[in-house]
Copies of this chain bind each other. A is one copy, B any other.
Amino acid sequence: MVMDKLFSFESLQVFTRNIFKHIGCSDAEATLATEVLLNADLRGIDSHGIARLSGYVRLWEAKRVNATPNVRVVHESPSTAVVDGDSGLGLVVAPKAMEIAIAKARTAGTGWVAVKNSNHFGIAGHHAMMALPHDMIGIAMTNASPLVAPTFSVERLLGTNPIAVAIPADKQPPFVADFATTTAANGKLEILQRKNLNAPMGWVQTKDGKPSTDPNETKSGGALIPLGSDREHGSHKGYCLGAWVDIFSAVLSGANYGPWVPPFVAFLSPPSDPVGEGIGHFFGAMRIDAFRPAAEFKQHMDNWINCFRSAKPIEGQERVLIPGDPEREITAQRLAEGIPLNPKVVEDLQLLSAKFGIAF
């Protein structure tokens, strides 16, 4: 087996920023996009990090990503806004939209921003976590190209549509949940594909809706399954969650929803009959002290976290986790030891390096 190679965070940062600058991003936006993209690698969500860099470039080459977008508010109320991302990188549009949500929360108590005309925004958790230094709770969600079949259906009508919620604590690290609303994220299937391993039952179905363990099903018309795996185990609830994310992200904003969401890859064309503009996101920021004094809240969060973290584990399990624990531990390790990249990803980045004459 070919081993992953380790790269320092800084080296990946310099390279990524140079690539974004090469396609025409301003200094500031190249830095912002790099920060968002590489936060996925730092947090161990390898499928959403630098592995996607060449994909973003191909979308730019296909003129489906605008490197100099005019990201602007097109509708607003005291606590809400709709943002037009002007086909920009989601890595740039999303944090700008989240800043608007935070600014709204400062004056109105909460801020809620729906975004249209955007692209893939990296990991939802990054944007939700932007609220934390402001003593706010952050929420981020996005729709995505259709890979998921609603319960009882053979058709792929939803994306993996992740939700992230970040909640500040006092002495404890924050609570950060960030998850696809499917049984398993697509990145988990990609890992199995690379390793030639089967998926557990309940993750995917064939194009006829039959249970399957083949991680390649989505390549031949099969689908991912909503969280819950089957009706008896609550897949209709996962379907509700995915639908909720789709509607908040796209029907509220004026983006494409359901099967009309454009694909993230340049070799697949967007639907010829769009119902909106680009893909959609939805962000929220809630000022803690719009509810109760922040110090009091954060002390109770510490108590909540301590209670759950010290809960008795099932025999054979090491410990009970708080959402965000695994990612935080990976970040510390990768900042110290480097970020492991799959040989195929390295090869892909080397091609990009050669093509643009940017050192890697």
Q: Which residues of A contact B (CB under 8 A)?
A: 75-80, 82, 107-110, 112, 114, 137, 150-155, 157, 165, 167, 175, 177, 179-184, 200, 202-203, 205, 208-210, 227-229, 232-234, 236-241, 243-244, 246-247, 251-254, 257-259, 275-276, 286-288, 290-292, 297, 300-301, 303-304, 307-308, 311-315, 317-321, 323
Contacts and interface: CB of A to CB of B under 8 A. Distances in A.
B179 A304 contact: no
Contacts of A107: 78
B175 A290 contact: no
B152 A290 contact: no
A244 to B, nearest CB: 5
A19 to B, nearest CB: 33
Given A150-B320, A167-B247, A177-B240, 5 more contacts: A150-B308, A179-B236, A182-B234, A202-B233, A251-B297
B108 A300 contact: no
Nearest to A318: B152
- As for how many copies of this chain the complex holds, the number is 2
B240 A323 contact: yes
A313 B308 CA distance: 41
A304 B78 contact: no
A236 to B, nearest CB: 7
A124 to B, nearest CB: 12
A311 B155 contact: yes
B313 A300 contact: no
A276 B318 CA distance: 30
Contacts of A152: 313-314, 317-321
B153 A312 contact: yes
A167, A247, A297, A303 — which one has the most chain B CB atoms within 10 A of its CB? A247
What 7 A-B pairs come out closest when comparing CB atoms? A77-B109, A209-B314, A177-B240, A77-B290, A80-B109, A80-B290, A79-B79
Nearest to A205: B314
A254 B312 CA distance: 26
A286 B233 contact: no
A325 to B, nearest CB: 11
Nearest to A291: B252
Contacts of A292: 75, 82, 252-254
Given A300-B251, A307-B258, A311-B150, A78 B227 contact: no
A244 B75 CA distance: 29
